[in-house]
A and B are shown apart, each in its own frame.
Chain A
Amino acid sequence: MKPLALLLALVFFVLGALYGLGTINVLTKSGTEHAHHVSHLVVCWVLALLALVWYRFQSSANGARH
């Protein structure tokens, strides 16, 4: 599961960056496009952070087993 956690963190980080830059606009068509993009960026990066926390918990668990 450790590679999955890292992969998720990377995917969410890149997605957030793309939303922040306005490169992708999936489900962001609205009158306040900028605010929308910031919301997507924040949510993606929070998810990336949580994926990293998940990775950390798994790393420690593996370390404890060894």
Chain B
Amino acid sequence: MKELDKIPKQNPFRVPENYFEEVTEKILAATLEAGRKQAPLKKVIRLRNIIAIAASVAVLVMLSITVLHMNRNMNQDIASVDMTTEQIMETIIYYVDITTLEQEIEDKWFENRLTDVENEEIIDFLINENIDPAEIYELL
């Protein structure tokens, strides 16, 4: 028989006398005073969502048009001239702007790197955060 099965499943805690009657009254009094979020607020949130979606769609459309335009120019350049592989690569690099891309990646890397954090500190942090092993297994 397991140790856990030997312990009766009962509530070991107690509450002050009449607690539940009193707390019900306290909660009802507090909530009536506090008021409640009204429907118009939901409409504002919905309207904000619609604006955000519309803005995202507009940005996506503009980006797509730009990329299509760039591709068309690139294809025309490549097709119209008899080029070597090296020349094609140079043309691509011209359009892609590798320097900016590299700078971006480097900045992001230094931004995200935890340079001052030791492995032990990371482990301590995870332990303090009570990371559930089951959750980690699931993610793996």
| A and B are interacting partners | no
